[in-house]
Amino acid sequence: MASGFTFGFGGDDLEDIEDASDAGQQQGSNGAAQKQVDEGGKSEPVYQEAEELNIDEMLSSLPSQMEFNTQLVHDSTGERPFLIGRRQLIDIRIQLMAEQDMLDEHEDLLFGLQKEDITHAVYEGGFKTWECAMDLATLLATEYDGRFTLADGEETINIIELGAGTGMPSLSLFYSYLTGQANPDVAKRRKVHFVLADYNVAVLKLATLPNILLTWYITRRNPLKGNPLLADRNAVHLMEIDQALLEDFRRDLSERGITLSFISGAWSPKFVDSCLGQQSTPEEGVAAGEQPTARERRTMILASETIYSPSSLLPFTETLISLLRRAVSNGGARYSEHDYPILAYISAKKVYFGVGGGVTEFLMTLRNVLGGRDEFKALPTSEVHDAGVGRTILRIVPKEFDRR
């Protein structure tokens, strides 16, 4: 079912979701039904099962060239500006059209891109960059700048983005870990694991991973000289992709203790297991003769524009709480004031007119999912007021860590 929410492909692709008119449509991350089937005359959704993708296969499927533009990110004061990469939508469309095997798999998705609209359960907006995602990227650049870490480096850091799409919030943190001045020995001990999840496989393959590679390329190869504030974000740049570049990418991330996982499909217990199911023990990876060290485990969950549809509120909230509970049960995190080792950020419009979701509805759903238990607290962290509807960022923390 196609909605009335349309957009063009020229210029900047930053979009506002409030005009979406179909309460059933959901962003590419939200676990929407893949299709509708009739069982005994009753229409039932069929969900795509959660699946972890093979990153080597994803990298091997990249084209030899990629066109991109840049997105400026900086902290709330306007200081420490930096650029992250965004693959051009037209470049994504060309790859879909050129690769017959992918075209067969995602023919409906290509149709949605050509029609330039969101089609429920086919193309759900994951190729677009939504404004709440940029709000969250700015907050992360302001509050963390590589500081979601400990001085001694004995830790495993999990950063999970639900509804990653173009991945702007994760890329803000990714940049900080690429440019951080950590002691090399500390960097070797520290493990940073990014989990990027989106309902659509094609979004992860054609947008999320490419944007990570592009941001690494911009940051480490430095092809774009000059002041980031003066960069033309509409300028089109070209990255040549060969085996040497991909090997450098893998090696650099490995040396910095950064790993990547990509998960497609619906939110479910299997999805939670894929994100945080298997945690390493202190003995794993310890060389002969060394004493195992108790590793800290820190978890940050990110989500933007995932609560605008009433039909997605419950599965999203259940998944969020399951992930937070799993992170708490994994334990091993130190706490200091204003330093939450386990937390989630939810960036959203206060109200989505004509759709039905919003912050109030999410908080009601959160209370229902918790069933009256005072396990977690939702703390307003940031508010944005401009010409449009007010936007906010909520921080969800385990009650045991909230000492306000």
Spans of all domains in the chain: 28-63+124-222+242-278+294-401
Higher pLDDT, 46 or 261: 261
**Whole-structure pTM value:** 0.84
Helices (H) and strands (E) in the chain, counts: 13, 17
Whole-number Å distance between alpha carbons of 235 and 70 = 8
Answer for the pair 183, 151: CB distance below 8 angstroms, yes or no.
no
Q: What is the pLDDT of residues 153-175, one digit of tens each?
A: 668 899 999 999 999 999 999 99
At residue 291, the pLDDT reads: 38
Q: State the chain's maximal CA–CA distance in angstroms.
A: 66
Strand partners, 210: none
Phi, psi of 58 (to 5 degrees): -65, -45
Higher pLDDT, 287 or 140: 140
Locate 350 and state its tokens: 């206060």
Say if residue 282's pLDDT is above 60.
no
Whole-number Å distance between alpha carbons of 139 and 116 = 30
Query: CATH number of the domain at 28-63+124-222+242-278+294-401, out of 3.30.420.40, 3.40.50.150, 1.10.3720.10, 3.90.226.10?
Result: 3.40.50.150
Whole-number Å distance between alpha carbons of 20 and 26 = 9
Q: What is the pLDDT of residues 58-116, one digit of tens each?
A: 999 999 999 999 999 988 777 789 999 999 989 998 888 777 665 555 666 666 566 55
| Alpha-carbon torsion (68, 135, 346, 175), positive or negative | positive
Pick from 135, 125, 169, 134: which is nearest to 26 by CA? 125
83-105 burial, b at 16+ Cβ within 10 Å, e below that, comes to bbbbbbbebbbebbeeeeebeee
Answer for the pair 352, 308: CB distance below 8 angstroms, yes or no.
yes
Rounded to an integer, the average pLDDT of 170-198 is: 83
Say if residue 241's pLDDT is above 60.
yes
Task: Indicate the length of the chain as a whole number.
Answer: 404
Answer for the pair 26, 48: CB distance below 8 angstroms, yes or no.
no
Answer for the pair 389, 54: CB distance below 8 angstroms, yes or no.
no
Whole-number Å distance between alpha carbons of 193 and 340 = 17
Distance (Å) of CA 79 to CA 73, 85, 151, 179, 393:
10, 19, 24, 15, 21
Max mean pLDDT among 12-26, 162-176, 387-401 falls in 162-176
Answer for the pair 208, 109: CB distance below 8 angstroms, yes or no.
no
Q: Identify the residue whose tokens are 């994994």.
A: 330
Whole-number Å distance between alpha carbons of 301 and 299 = 7
Q: Identify the residue whose tokens are 């005994």.
A: 40
Whole-number Å distance between alpha carbons of 311 and 103 = 29
